[in-house]
């Protein structure tokens, strides 16, 4: 389906208004469109197209909300970030986690993650 001019409704569109994005085909249609003030398209519809998705690509039972992960200040450590990227991109994820568990910084991170994800589990361990 070929887009049609939004002003004359006959010709194929060639341009669009910078303000309201209505399509038009010629200078004549542009001038006719400019006779009446147009309104910009809503900010929400344009921001939705450019806003990165926060939904994980492959959600699993182990997927944690990004808001909870932001509570972990350890994520600012460049060494830990590099380690997490290596684990994330590893061919064998379980093996990479086992190797990571030999790193004290990763163990501390894993413990903090568990406190954020399941805070009641820590209480049960102490009793």
100 or 123: which leads in pLDDT: 100
5 or 43: which leads in pLDDT: 5
Q: Could you report the per-residue pLDDT of 103-122, keeping only the tens digit for each?
A: 998 998 888 888 877 777 65
Q: Which domain holds residue 18?
A: 1-43
d(CA 100, CA 84): 9
- Count of domains for the chain: 2
In this structure, what token pair is assigned to residue 127? 């009793």
Specify whether 73 is located in the same domain as 106. Answer: yes
In this structure, what token pair is assigned to residue 98? 């086992």
For the chain, what percent of residues have pLDDT higher than 90? 14
Structural domain includes residue 39: yes
Strands 23-24 and 15-16 turn out to be antiparallel
Specify whether 73 is located in the same domain as 115. Answer: yes
pLDDT grade for 66, boundaries at 50, 70 and 90:
confident
In this prediction, residue 39 carries a pLDDT of: 80
Structural domain includes residue 61: no
Structural domain includes residue 52: no
In this prediction, residue 52 carries a pLDDT of: 54
Structural domain includes residue 48: no
Mean pLDDT for the chain?
A: 79
Structural domain includes residue 92: yes
The answer on pLDDT for 80 being more than 80 is yes
Structural domain includes residue 36: yes
User: Do 69 and 110 contact (CB within 8 A), yes or no?
Assistant: no
In this prediction, residue 102 carries a pLDDT of: 94
pLDDT grade for 18, boundaries at 50, 70 and 90:
confident
Structural domain includes residue 89: yes
The answer on pLDDT for 49 being more than 60 is no
Model pTM greater than 0.85?
no
């Amino acid at each position: 389906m070929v887009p049609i001019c939004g002003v004359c409704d006959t010709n194929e569109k060639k341009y669009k208004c910078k303000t309201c994005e209505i399509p038009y085909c010629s200078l004549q249609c542009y001038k006719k469109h400019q006779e009446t003030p147009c309104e910009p398209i809503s900010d929400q519809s344009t921001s939705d197209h450019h806003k990165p998705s926060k939904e994980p690509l492959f959600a699993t039972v182990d997927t944690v909300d990004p808001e909870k992960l932001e509570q972990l200040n350890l994520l600012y450590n460049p060494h830990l970030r590099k380690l997490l990227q290596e684990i994330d991109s590893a061919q064998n994820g379980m093996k990479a986690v086992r190797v990571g568990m030999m790193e004290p910084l990763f163990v501390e991170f894993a413990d903090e993650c568990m406190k954020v994800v399941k805070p009641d589990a820590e209480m049960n361990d102490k009793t």
